[in-house]
Structure formats: structure tokens, C-alpha cells
Amino acid sequence: MTLAIAMAQINPTVGALSANSELILANVNRAKELGADLIVFPEMALTGYPVEDLALRQTFQVASKTAIENLAAQINGSITAVVGYLDNDGAGPLNAVAIIENGRIKARYIKCHLPNYGVFDEYRNFIAGSEPLVFEVNGHKIGVAICEDIWQFGGPVAELAKLGVQLVVVPNGSPYERNKDDLRLKLVKQRAKDFGAALAYVNMVGGQDELVFDGDSILVDQAGTILARTQQFVEELVVIDLFEPKPQISEPLTDAAEIYGALVLGLRDYINKNGFKSVVLGLSGGIDSALVAAIAVDALGPDRVHGVALPSKYSSEHSLADAKELANRLGLNFRIIEIEPMVKEFIKNVGLSGVAEENVQARVRGTTLMGISNQEGHLVLATGNKSELAVGYSTLYGDAVGAFAPIKDVYKTEVWQLAKWRNSSGAVIPENSISKEPSAELRPGQKDSDSLPDYLLLDQLLVKYVDQDAGAAGLLAAGFAPDLINRVIGLVDRAEYKRRQYPPGPKVSMRAFGKDRRLPITSRWKEQN
């Protein structure tokens, strides 16, 4: 007999049980129309994922169990559904999937391997399962695993290979990071061979706080041959017969397209899922704010994006001209507010000079943007990049102000690369913003290079120290000069308190600041080279 499998790559919202149920049912009905025998949804599709400490709330556990029972009652006819949800059997919260057939829950499976690294802390929120599950559709034996179950192979999941399954379905909540699609494909192919069975890897899509799920769902046969692969960063329903396949394979995106797509989706879902109507950001004429503006317009449309130029007496004419040109090309809402009168009065009344005086300009800009936010209801976007965040090259309550930071996990050199990539499909960012030397323009003739190493060199060191966790000795072995190592490490370590006060933003690297990289603010440990 045939077995038509539907992979439902959907974008649920955490806590939205009714809306998620409707989304699941819509996909079930569509899959039935397309002749599917089996439909597989992502990990915890009913509740959204990750639920974090919501999993510990008894009221939410009860609501999830009620919702899955109500959902099951509405799934009838010739289709079996695999739906992720939150359960509790009395021992504690469970990351579970329900096997739904003919209006009832036929069986359930509990996730066995709980990730406890990087952004994951599932031992805090769930009790691990201990039993494999095999069920049948059209006489075909099907095993179940959930996400980490195939990344950490062994235990009950590995037993599926001994039970003669023909297919393993794997609901996933696997967040995006650079090059992870290549790792997933390699993993899926290998696990299909390990199981001796076809494998359907169904991943979530959408933004959830600082995480972005990119989809990239994959179906392979027992030899690891790709039968279906979905697009990244979009919802998609793919139906394919396992035994009479007509391959449906979407090509993966380029690195730049992946990262940009993650940033756009992360921002869009953060704004829309949290009910914000629009965003506002400062437009300096520089590359960072230009890229953030482009991302915002691509995510929300120009009518929902408000750009504000906030020139001081040190702002160059070309910076204001570049900001105007950017706003014109993107079609966003634009205004100019001169900050010099406010800065002058502040300094006169408080009596500041030097760096403190420079920072007043940044803080007046931040206060102005927050005032506009309060008055008009826009969410403020911070425009700082990962290089600046790493070394503390920002002003608290100034350019660090905001509620969301779209490029906080993007190094400065990557900002330039993404800007050039975005312009390849339509020149929206002025060339001068890309080519000119970076400057905060807080004093006459100021350049970033006055305070920081060249960004190309700086980012190379930061990737090793921040993303790869290399120590001073490792950096020295990599060829970096001792003075540079000591200087940059000192800047990074001293800036931890600043990073704790920075807004959230989408994770796109292997190790983002925040949940990925957790270091104490108060620490006397110093790396020695």
C-alpha cells in the first residue's frame, strides 16, 4: 500500500492555543484534499515553542491537554495526525506528540533526549520520556522521535532500528543559525541509514523572541536520498508518497540570503505576534541604521516604519543627505529633529565635558526616540551590531535604547556584506553609507578607528573569542598579536553589564549574546596569553 506523507511546516505562536489549533486544522484539511494518509507537525505545534517556564504552570498544562483533546475530536476521516503539545502525566510537564486518528488520541510519545546547551534548558522545564513508540498507518510501521532525539542518538529512540519501522517521523523546533541547514541535512541522511528507514524531519518556521525557526523540513528514503525539502522562512505544506515519490526539493538559500531572511522574519514576528503596529528608528546616514531600516521595510512594509534623523552640530552634511536618500528609496516615513538645542541646554545645566559630553548627544537621541514611541505608539529599534555590542562601543540609554535589536547578532563586516547583498536585488541603501568610514560623529573628525581596531581584524578575533570560546592562548596560536588580544578581551569582558541591558534581537550565529553565551558580570577572571 502507498503512504502519502504531509509535512506541515507551520508558524505557531507561543500560548495561542486556539489560533494554533485553527492553523493545525486548516493544514489537516488541506492535506486530506491532497490525498495525504499521514500529516506531521513541528515540535509543540499546539502550544508554540519554546514555552520556557510556561511549561511549569499547571493552568497552561491543563489548557494544552484540553486543547489537544478538542483538536483530536475534529480530526476525522482517512488521515493520521502527529501533533506536538504539552502534557503532564502527574510526574511533571512533558514535551509530547499525540498520534490522532478517527477523532481520538491513539497514542502519545514523550521526548527522551532533552537538550541542555546553548539556548536550550529543557531539563528545567520537562521530564524526559523513556519508551519508544511505533504506530501503523496503512499497514506501515512508523516510529517517532522529537528533535534532540535524533541529534543525541541512543536509548529508546535507537531501539526503533530493531523494531522494523519503515518510516521515522521527527517533529522539530530547531532554531536557525548560520550553516545549520547543512548540518541538518547531513544528520537526517545519517539517521535514516541508522534506522534503516525513511525519515521525515518536520521543522517549525517563525520568530519567537530571540529565536528564528527557518523550516527547512526534509524527507529522505532509507538510503538518505532526498525526496522532499521545503523552503526556508516560509510556511509550507508538502505531500509526497513515500513509495511512489515525485520529489519536491527546494534549493537552500545562500548564506547572505539565509541571514537576511532570518532577520526579516525575526523582526516581523516579534512585531506582529506582540501586537505592535509600527516601528521607529534613528537614521544616522551610516550603514547600521540603513540596514536595519531596509530589514524593517522588508518585514513590515514602508508605511509601518518611521525613520528619524537626529543631527547634532557634529553631524556631517553627507550623513543627513544619506539618511534622506535612504528614506526616499525605501519609501518609509521620515522626519528630521535637530538635537543641538537640547544638547546645549543639558550640558549647560549639568556641566559635562569630554566623553560625558559626547554621550549626552546619544542619550538625547535615545530619549527623543522613546518620547516619539510613547506619543505615537511605535516600537523603537536599536541599530547596534554584534561588534559594537561585544566591545561595549555604545552608549547606555543612548544608541543602545530600544525594544528590539535586529542586527545585534551580526558582526560589522557582515553588516556590509548584507547591505551589498540587499542592494543586489534593488539599490535601496546609498553607496556612500556602505563605502564611507564608520563614525559615531560625536566630536569633530571622529572615526570608529580612533577607538577600535580595524573591523576586519576585530571581527576575526571576536569570532574566535565570542563564538568559538577560544582563550587568550588559543588567540595567540591563531596569530593575533598579544597587545591586540589583551586589548580586545579587556573590552569584551568589561562590557558584560552593558550587554545585559541591551534589547533582544534574532539569533543568527552559532553563539549569540544572551542565552547562548552566559558569563558573570562580576568576575575577576582574566585570560592570560
Query: Do residue 248 and residue 263 come from a single domain?
Result: no
Is 108 inside a domain boundary?
yes
Structurally, the chain folds into a number of domains equal to 2
Counting DSSP H helices and E strands in the chain, the numbers are 18, 19
Contact present, 24 and 45 (Cβ < 8 Å)? yes
Active site residue 235: no
Is 125 inside a domain boundary?
yes
Active site residue 180: no
Round to whole Å and give the CA distance between 46 and 498: 36
Which residue among 415, 448, 481 closes a domain? 448
What is the pLDDT at residue 245?
A: 85
Is 508 inside a domain boundary?
no
Query: Do residue 262 and residue 237 come from a single domain?
Result: no
Is 471 inside a domain boundary?
no
What is the pLDDT at residue 348?
A: 86
Is 79 inside a domain boundary?
yes
Contact present, 306 and 323 (Cβ < 8 Å)? no
Q: Domain range spanning residue 173?
A: 4-253
Residue type for position 383: T
Active site residue 111: yes
Backbone angles phi, psi at 8, to 5 degrees: -100, 95
Q: Which of 65, 101, 112, 147 is catalytic?
A: 147
What is the pLDDT at residue 442?
A: 58
Region of residue 339 (phi > 0: left; psi between -120 and 50: alpha; otherwise: beta): alpha
Residue type for position 37: D
Residue 224 grid cell: 538518505
Round to whole Å and give the CA distance between 464 and 350: 42
What is the pLDDT at residue 440?
A: 61
What is the pLDDT at residue 315?
A: 65
Q: Which of 32, 43, 112, 507 is catalytic?
A: 43
Mean pLDDT by 10 residues, the chain (529 residues): 94 98 97 96 97 95 97 93 95 96 96 91 93 95 95 88 94 94 93 95 97 97 96 97 91 94 98 97 94 98 97 78 94 95 88 86 93 96 96 91 96 96 93 80 66 91 95 93 94 94 95 90 84
Question: Residue 176: helix, strand or coil by DSSP?
Answer: coil
Query: Do residue 321 and residue 192 come from a single domain?
Result: no
Round to whole Å and give the CA distance between 416 and 435: 9
Contact present, 419 and 291 (Cβ < 8 Å)? yes
Query: Do residue 348 and residue 222 come from a single domain?
Result: no
Contact present, 218 and 184 (Cβ < 8 Å)? yes
Query: Do residue 113 and residue 235 come from a single domain?
Result: yes
Which residue among 253, 280, 309 closes a domain? 253
Q: What is the pTM of this model?
A: 0.94
